Amino acid sequence: MMPCEINKAHFLGKEFVFRRGGGEVLAKRIALLRDGSIEGYSHPNEAAWGFDERGLLFLNREGEPTTIFSKLELKDGLTIIHGRFLEHADPEFYGHVLAEIEQAFVPPAPVAIENRTLKGGSADVAVLVRTHRVDEKLYDLLEKLNRGRTSFDVYPIIDETNGRPEINADNVIWHSAAACHALGLTQPHQALLWFCGDFPFYFALREIPHYKHYIMVEYDIDMVRSDASFMNRLADALRTPEFETVDFAAMQFAKVGPVSGWYEACHKVYPHEYCYGVYFPFIIMSKRAAAYLFSQRQLEAARKTPRADIIHCESFAASAAMAGGFRCVDVREIMPGCYDFGLMAMQMGQYGGLGKPLGAKLDIPDGVEMVHPIYGYEEFLERIWRKYVISETNNWDGLLQVLDGPEGALVPEELRSKFRAKIPERTSVGAM
């Protein structure tokens, strides 16, 4: 039997080779996830896993044990556990083995590097336009941020996890899930740069470390004034005695509790009084706050935090900054009235579950400076397809109402024609 101190938690956050007792490898790399599923291997006999007084169990699709792993050894600090396959004629035949894979140590990167690839301007505020795609929407936002720009520098910060896109710019900060490992950010998450949306700040620290404040803007934000005037005023405000000590600012800055989906993982690290959350399309960090948050993310990785306990960026950034004693505010404290949450969360039900295409007309109250999400044309078509055809299971009527409506009309005809060719032939909207 296993030592009494070994329990289910011992197997979380680790990866194993799954092989037969004779050495045949069944899976080179599997993980036992907190929800009872097995990542990296699929077979009716090993559909899930569990743990009880007998040891670690592999279960079939009916939830019945097929292998009981109860013979455990630790070799050089790594777990090797042998299991009895219950369908074997010999009840003492240990026919399955899980051997823990040693995770390679990745030394953390310094905040700055000697040979920087980019040269910054004379400003002390950097605006980072975060994106994973290069399209007309990104170029439109970059053009607006550069129109009349006086008080900040602009850098596209592009996720190249799925390949490096071509872009007509020479001041790009590249990053990827693989490159995160070079910074000591080895968190095991299949959607790492979505779940940990603060990571691009740490690439900016490495490449352009001389700024006092970094403002990260999602590519699908649109500037209402179509120029750099709002961002100039914001950058200027960050130099005033009233706001120069702000270390972290975001939208919807507020305390979170158990009703938040991000609270459980956050509360395991931070006391309740420091558990905060924000909305992440627009984030401001001082250099010192970003460096501190970088160190906390490195610690999270070094602890080999299980996937389920990695803190989502919307809770991590706000909570770590508050717990670290930094000055944190809502963006509206610096620039009153600059955003309206309804117009920053247009994917919510009141707007039909969609954002808008580039060029869409919106009823925007006075003083509001940003709206979100505004998409490029191909992405807009992708999203209406996802909503009406995939999520709503072939709701062709809903799809055609958008495509033939005023927002669909903004999409260039060539793209609309190609898109329409994917739609089954119909005589009219509502036809059976």
Label each residue of the chain as H, E or C. Answer: CCCCCCCHHHHCCCEEEEEECCCCEEEEEEEECCCCCEECCCCHHHCEEEEECCEEEEECCCCCEEEEEEEEEEECCEEEEEEEECCCCCCCCCCEEEEECCCCCCCCCCCCCCCCCCCCCCCCEEEEEEECCCCHHHHHHHHHHHCCCCCCEEEEEEECCCCCCCCCCCCCEEECHHHHHHHCCCCCCCCHHHHCCCHHHHHHHHHCCCCCEEEEEECCCEECCCCCHHHHHHHHHCCCCCCCCCCEEEEEEEECCCCCCCHHHHHCCCCHHHCEEEEEEEEEEEHHHHHHHHHHHHHHHHCCCCHHHCCCHHHHHHHHHHHCCCCEEEHHHHCCCCCCHHHHCCCCHHHCCCCEECCCCCCCCCCCCEECCEECHHHHHHHHHHHHHHHCCCCHHHHHHHHCCCCHHHCCHHHHHHHHCCCCCCCCCCCC
- Confidence grade of residue 113 (pLDDT, cut at 50, 70, 90): low
Mean pLDDT of 375-390: 92
| Percentage above 90 pLDDT, the chain | 70
The pLDDT of residue 170 is 85
- Gap between the Cα atoms of 126 and 134, Å rounded: 20
Q: Is 353 a residue whose pLDDT tops 80?
A: no
**Which of 103-112, 154-163, 248-257, 396-405 has the weakest average pLDDT?**
103-112
Mean pLDDT of 264-291: 96
- Let me know: does 16 contact 101? Beta carbons within 8 Å: yes
β-pairing verdict for 153-159 and 65-75: unpaired
Chain segment 207-228, per-residue pLDDT in tens:
999 999 999 999 999 999 999 9
Count Cβ atoms below 10 Å from residue 226 Cβ, excluding itself.
12
The pLDDT of residue 77 is 78
Mean pLDDT of 343-364: 78
CATH of 125-334, one of 3.90.550, 2.60.40, 3.40.50, 3.40.190: 3.90.550
Chain segment 40-89, per-residue pLDDT in tens:
998 999 999 999 888 999 999 888 999 999 898 888 778 899 999 888 87
The pLDDT of residue 414 is 95
The pLDDT of residue 11 is 87
**Which of 93-107, 158-172, 188-202, 312-326 has the weakest average pLDDT?**
93-107
- Let me know: does 36 contact 65? Beta carbons within 8 Å: no
The pLDDT of residue 1 is 47
Q: Is 430 a residue whose pLDDT tops 50?
A: no
The overall average pLDDT reported for the chain is 90
317 Cβ contact list (under 8 Å, min separation 6): 198, 248, 250, 278, 280, 283, 285, 293
- Gap between the Cα atoms of 373 and 43, Å rounded: 41
Q: Is 182 a residue whose pLDDT tops 90?
A: no
Length of the chain: 432
First to last CA, the chain: 64
Phi, psi (degrees; rounded to nearest 5) at 6: -85, 125
Does residue 7 or residue 20 have the better pLDDT? 20
Q: Does residue 373 have a cis bond before it (omega within 30 degrees)?
A: yes
Task: Give me the sheet containing 248-255, strands edge to edge.
Answer: 173-175, 153-159, 125-131, 213-218, 276-286, 248-255, 328-330
Whether pTM exceeds 0.85: no
CA geometry: angle 425, 431, 432, nearest 5 deg: 85
Give the HSE-up count for residue 87: Cα atoms under 13 Å, Cβ half-sphere: 9
| Percentage above 70 pLDDT, the chain | 91
Q: Is 328 a residue whose pLDDT tops 90?
A: yes
The pLDDT of residue 250 is 98
